[in-house]
Structure 1
Amino acid sequence: MKTRGLLLLMIGSCLLGSCNKILDIENPTAVDEKDVWNDIELATAYANRIHAENLPGWTTDFADYSEESDGGGSYMYGQLTENSVDYWPYSEIRGINVLLSDIDKGKLSEANKKLLKGQAFFFRGWQFFEMAKRYGGIPLVLKPQQLTDDLLVNRNTTTETMARILADLDSAIAYLPAVAVGSGDNNGRVHKGTALAVKGRVLLFYASPQFDPAQNAPGRWQAAYDANKAAKDYLDGQGYGLFPSFTNLWFSEMNKEVIFVRRYQYVATNTASWNNWAAATRPLDISQGATGGNRPALEIVDAFPMKDGRAINDPATTYPYDAQYYWKNRDPRFNQTIVYNGALWQVGINGLEAGRMQWTFVGGEQNSPTITGFYMRKGVDTTQTSIQAFNSGTDWIELRYAELLLNLAEAANETDRIAEVYPLLTAIRARAGIDAGANNLYGLAPGMNKTQMRAAIRLERQIELAFEGKRFWDLRRWRAFETTLNGTRRHGHNVTLKVPKAQWDALKASMTPQQLYQHLQTNYTTYFQTTVKTVDTQFDILWKPEYYFFALPSKHLQLNSHLKQTNGWAGGSFDPLQ
């Protein structure tokens, strides 16, 4: 977080409150924890620590767990065990509970208490939700446990868990301040609009087939629609909306699309304030310290439509697709997301490298060449040197306005409000730069029924939110892994030179990068041959039904004999659908 005073005080250890002292400043005995709730600066520092410990951030993992990228291992090949997914943030939840339990004992003003409580309620709801989407029902620990308490708590039902998440978010909505775009208060801390939008996401999950496979739970989709509509209406009134530039929304900090964010800044003495996601995404030839993340599979490459918004295999498109010149006339988000052989990508070891082209042909890269034949450029700042990319200050946007529109669109469609969906999707496509078409539908088919619109929404999510950690969770909440991926394998491009290397090097030397790029727009196949290769070389993708609710790791069961294992896993007797 970059706000004044944020993270200046590192609030202490032993599960944030289980020790005698909460704050460790210069003198570890100088501040009694009771004093925290009498001093707004100390209390705010405590809340800032809650932000730091509970905010989500950059990760390359989730792209590997779908057809976006090439990894995923045990997730993709049916090899998960009960110990594979261990998300158990109860030490962080304890710190939140300390604030909620103790703040009323102090002398802070009611306004300050509400502000800090709102942040705590938000993050407790957030962490409970992060657990629930993995496991279903979880133990709802709502106060700081003491050694004299009964620590063998039971798993609450999923229904009880969701009710608590929503109650915490409702408390956050009531207590958190209204924050308008462009105001000094729009600094990265969670606010009322954040809580409203996250509530919409929670209810979208709860209405989805993961939590309701038969799709007959009354009222869930209506609740999701109401929550997302309320979030949109409120945020519209505060100035939020789609940022004009799809590419630059990651680099224009706290712009009007940003709803829920973790802010980063390189500070040499504090590694918690920077990330190395860009380094992991860049080619190793121009990176250091990390590489191999977010390498797009051909499946996501082919998912992007043409510039008129129609699919690459749609005979009605006004831009006929050419498999050898596959990058031409595509949805503009294609070239703002995907890097291919011969693409202009002005990112270098020493920062912006004007006219630089990326080569992924066999022999075109010196170190650790991409397996799929592609790289991913979203969120990769071309002005950063390789050192800066490893210590990147680029903010992570966990929830942005475009997702809110897509969440609302999905809930509207599932509640038979198909007419309301069109303007939500066309707004996103218009911002992307897709042709409006004579009917101003930006490539969407007119008169779609519910099933057709559902497919259109899911495709739009796949494209708009690519490599933002959403596709894995979407496939899971839709229970769509089996029908979408099982029995398939992911693919990539194998690109080889058709001319002698010396001839190719001479051609490059004779032209500027811009001239070479233009030359390849009509002469690419003179120099390169592209064939499709299989990336999953050993196994077909196999997603098992029990993965829709993961197992509790054995270490937690061993520590707490009252915890029941999830149905579908060895010894499982807990029904996550109840």
Structure 2
Amino acid sequence: MKRKNIFRISSLAFLTAAIFTSCSDSFLEEKQNYDSTTREAYNYWSGASARVSAIYRTCLPDAAANASARFNCTGLADDQSKSTEEYSGFSVFVNPQAPLTYQTGNNPVPDYFQGTKGNPLEGVYGRIRDVNDVIIGVTESTLSQDEKDQLLGQAYFLRAWCYYNLVKWYGGVPIVTDVLEPIASSVVPRSSTKACIDFICDDLNTAETLLARFTGSGQWMSGENYGRVTSGAAVALLGRVRLLYASPMFNRTNDVTRWTQAYEDIKRSIGVLTAAGYGLANESNPGINASGWASMFSQVPNTEGIFVTLYNTLVQGTPDYRKNNTWEHGIRPNNTLGGGGKTPSAMLVDMFPMRDGKVPGGCNTYTKLDKSESDYNPQFPFIDRDPRFYRTFAFPGVRWTFTGDPRNDNNDNSYNGTDYELWNYVWYTSPALRDDITANSEATYGADNLLNNVKGFYVRKRSDDRDVNSTSRYEYTQASGFTRSASPYMEIRFAEVLLNYAEAACGAGHLDEAVAQLQRIRARVGYTAENNYGLQANLSGDAAACMAAILYERQIELAYEGKRFDDLRRWMLFDGGTVLPDGAPSSWRLTGWDGNTCSYLGFTPLNGQRRENLEFRVKIDSGQGEGIGGTTLASDPLTVAGVTRPAALDLRNDLSTQTEALREFYNANLIRKTKKGDSYNDSQAELYIEFLPRYYFLGFNQGIQSSATTLTQTIGWGDYMNGGSNGTFDPLEE
């Protein structure tokens, strides 16, 4: 129940004439703005189903949106992902010079609660109100019981999804099950975290029960209902919720009963999902260099996607169900007419496993995991890596093809899309700029007409690669590049469920089962039993090493999918959970995991570290100095020197001889350079990650409290309604 004095009811009229006509066969086309209605409309299947489609429109994750009160993180370089190893650059959560406060104008804590004032659907409770309206309207309608159950199952799932995204940030929040009016008497207090977890799980159990006979045998795995939530989606989200509640952030004493509950629920979910047709996509056919794994991010439908957001390629000016996925455009380099690319941090590049599945030598993040027997040379990061490395990153000298031709008068490079090679090595215009780690993009020039729109490394993950998917899901033009893509976004996929299973099994003491899930995930990308799928031998007998291996596998398998910040928070990996925020009671002290999750796992805390970027610059001297050139395509120092580039790595073929040829080219012509990632202070001294203890549970900023004057503030945060005194709501109190 919710304080409706915070949120105004939507005044948008329900389009009765539209919904009483025949519904579209396209699920996306049904997601129009039917977010206000009368009870009478629910007595018609067309009206009630259109209302359910409307709540999808506001509740589904969006791969094109930064994290906000409406959208969870999906892997963009937003405040959440930039607080992890995936990207550099201080976000609001890790900036040592700007600690978050509750105060407007003083680095206010992000709002994942209320959203844009005046637009209730931008805030979680506006959407919850909308879902409650659907639940009540359908329940009280004259529809048949089968019709009611099919619609209600979806609504209960979406309400649970909304609450999950609140609880992971704030702990306990107000529970609202009615459609409250915007009056003072509608105020509802925060419930305990346990009450919220129970409420979410009840909704998901209800959703599973209601949807089982419609979806439990895979009926919605294809066709016009693909993209709607299923009984499988309900059990998958239930497992994620149970895992959250068992994790150290919420479970300071390491209460094994929480792990056991998570283990039992997730283990049962595997059977439910398998019966419905879900599983690891292309599990029996890994393909070469993890091509099977890479292909799933563009496949619709596929067995991997459990909770998905669908997209289309409709153009501007069509009805409001136009929904384009812009990820492909964003990750592609500028000389493909892409958006310029996304820059991964060097920390994650250097952390990816080697080909034998082990941690690279020199990476000291996971000290309880075995180091690789293969030497890792950061000058040649593409040598002997985990197959997923080549599908997650792009670098100088790799093939990355697409359907389309970017060549025109303003883009003078050598390649059409079908034979595109990325050569993003760089040079500088002067020795001073070359030797300056902080030199900006205007001083850096890249090959093949990338010029000063070059990235030293690129994120490639989730790419619609033509060599993997010959029929692209984007429509490419020289006017807009890859902007209109219909690739899906998978919020929950089967591999995550297996990783959740592994983690819960480890926490509950079933280490053999945990290891079996890691083996299955690694087999899908080409590892074999010959070397135990690249896993060290002691994981079945060492719970700490096993859990560290699971978290490492999550970091690699789910990179750039919006999951890492949640993992870092729930395991308290910024500081190990050793420091309490001001005003925290003794019950907040971490007594499980030896009082320090980082020490227990052998994980180097992120606090006190920096994330830099990397690039490969020309090292030969073309007559102006080593690595010096001009500002044009023709001034590329390697071109001037007459250097012939080898064929780029072709991921369709074995890489062993190809990487050796590329290594020789790098050795003769390129040198790795550190590029500034995280910030410096005014004196140009390095700054380091600082995630404060109070950030594990967020407080409400002044703007939220001003709108909701009786909303109790979280411990560790100033309470605007009480003169800035410490908050009193305890997210850990049951």
Query: Which amino acid in the other structure matches residue 340 of structure 1?
Result: F
Q: Which residue number in structure 2 is paired with residue 498 of structure 1?
A: 619
The 3-state SS of whatever aligns with 2:93 is helix
Q: Which residue number in structure 2 is paired with residue 9 of structure 1?
A: none
Q: Quick check: 1:65 aligned with 2:102?
A: no
**Is the Cα–Cα contact under 8 Å of residues 90 and 689 in structure 2 kept in the other structure?**
no
**Is the Cα–Cα contact under 8 Å of residues 307 and 435 in structure 1 kept in the other structure?**
no
**Residue deviations 1:465-489, cap 9 Å, x none?**
0000000110001111125210110
- Single out whichever of 133-142 and 207-216 deviates more from structure 2: 207-216
Q: Which residue number in structure 2 is paired with residue 225 of structure 1?
A: 263
Q: Quick check: 1:48 aligned with 2:53?
A: yes
Residue in structure 2 matching 1:95, options 126, 130, 148 = 130
Residues 164-563 of structure 1 mapped to structure 2, 5 A cutoff? 164-176=199-211, 177-181=214-218, 182-184=221-223, 187-216=226-255, 219-244=257-282, 245-268=292-315, 269=318, 270=320, 273-287=323-337, 290-291=339-340, 293=342, 295-313=343-361, 317-347=372-402, 350=406, 352-362=417-427, 363-364=445-446, 365-370=450-455, 373-382=456-465, 383=472, 384=474, 385=476, 387=480, 389-438=482-531, 440-446=532-538, 447-483=540-576, 484-499=605-620, 500=622, 501-504=636-639, 507=642, 519-538=661-680, 539-563=687-711
**Residue deviations 1:453-509, cap 9 Å, x none?**
011001000000000000011000111112521011002223221223444456566
Name the CA distance, whole Å, in 2 between partners of 1:496 and 1:157.
55
CA separation of 1:16/1:517 partners in 2, compared to 1, >3 Å: closer, same or farther? farther
Aligned length: 557
Name the CA distance, whole Å, in 2 between partners of 1:17 and 1:45.
19
CA separation of 1:349/1:279 partners in 2, compared to 1, >3 Å: closer, same or farther? farther
Q: Which residue number in structure 1 is paired with residue 14 of structure 2?
A: 22
Unaligned runs of 5+ in 1: 1-14
Unaligned runs of 5+ in 2: 1-6, 21-33, 64-73, 103-107, 114-123, 283-291, 363-369, 407-415, 428-444, 466-471, 577-604, 623-635, 651-657, 681-686, 720-726
The 3-state SS of whatever aligns with 1:397 is strand
**Residue deviations 1:410-461, cap 9 Å, x none?**
00001110011121101111111235434x3433334440001011001000
**Residue deviations 1:141-187, cap 9 Å, x none?**
11111245613221112121111111111111111132445554760
Deviation at 1:318, TM superposition (A): 4.9
The 3-state SS of whatever aligns with 2:506 is helix
CA separation of 1:343/1:510 partners in 2, compared to 1, >3 Å: closer, same or farther? closer
**Residue deviations 1:281-340, cap 9 Å, x none?**
22333345x5564x2111111221111112211987453323322211110000010112
Query: Which amino acid in the other structure matches residue 313 of structure 1?
Result: G
The 3-state SS of whatever aligns with 1:390 is strand
- Single out whichever of 320-329 and 418-427 deviates more from structure 2: 320-329
**Is the Cα–Cα contact under 8 Å of residues 430 and 442 in structure 1 kept in the other structure?**
no
Deviation at 1:71, TM superposition (A): 3.1
**Is the Cα–Cα contact under 8 Å of residues 311 and 488 in structure 2 kept in the other structure?**
yes
Query: Which amino acid in the other structure matches residue 378 of structure 1?
Result: K
Name the CA distance, whole Å, in 1 between partners of 2:640 and 2:555.
38
Q: Which residue number in structure 1 is paired with residue 92 of structure 2?
A: 74
Name the CA distance, whole Å, in 2 between partners of 1:284 and 1:24.
46
Name the CA distance, whole Å, in 2 between partners of 1:326 and 1:102.
57
CA separation of 1:39/1:231 partners in 2, compared to 1, >3 Å: closer, same or farther? same
Query: Which amino acid in the other structure matches residue 332 of structure 2?
Result: R
Name the CA distance, whole Å, in 1 between partners of 2:517 and 2:309.
26
Deviation at 1:248, TM superposition (A): 0.4
- Single out whichever of 143-152 and 540-549 deviates more from structure 2: 143-152
Deviation at 1:394, TM superposition (A): 1.2
Name the CA distance, whole Å, in 1 between partners of 2:665 and 2:140.
74
What TM-score do the two structures reach when normalised by structure 1? Answer: 0.89
**Is the Cα–Cα contact under 8 Å of residues 482 and 542 in structure 1 kept in the other structure?**
no
What TM-score do the two structures reach when normalised by structure 2? Answer: 0.71
Q: Quick check: 1:35 aligned with 2:40?
A: yes
**Residue deviations 1:225-280, cap 9 Å, x none?**
11111111111222211112110011111211111100011222237511322222
Deviation at 1:84, TM superposition (A): 3.0
Name the CA distance, whole Å, in 1 between partners of 2:357 and 2:19.
63
CA separation of 1:16/1:418 partners in 2, compared to 1, >3 Å: closer, same or farther? same
Name the CA distance, whole Å, in 2 between partners of 1:313 and 1:239.
40
Deviation at 1:135, TM superposition (A): 0.9
**Is the Cα–Cα contact under 8 Å of residues 618 and 638 in structure 2 kept in the other structure?**
no
Q: Which residue number in structure 2 is paired with residue 3 of structure 1?
A: none
Query: Which amino acid in the other structure matches residue 617 of structure 2?
Result: T
- Single out whichever of 41-50 and 380-389 deviates more from structure 2: 380-389
CA separation of 1:357/1:43 partners in 2, compared to 1, >3 Å: closer, same or farther? same
CA separation of 1:167/1:511 partners in 2, compared to 1, >3 Å: closer, same or farther? closer
Deviation at 1:562, TM superposition (A): 1.4
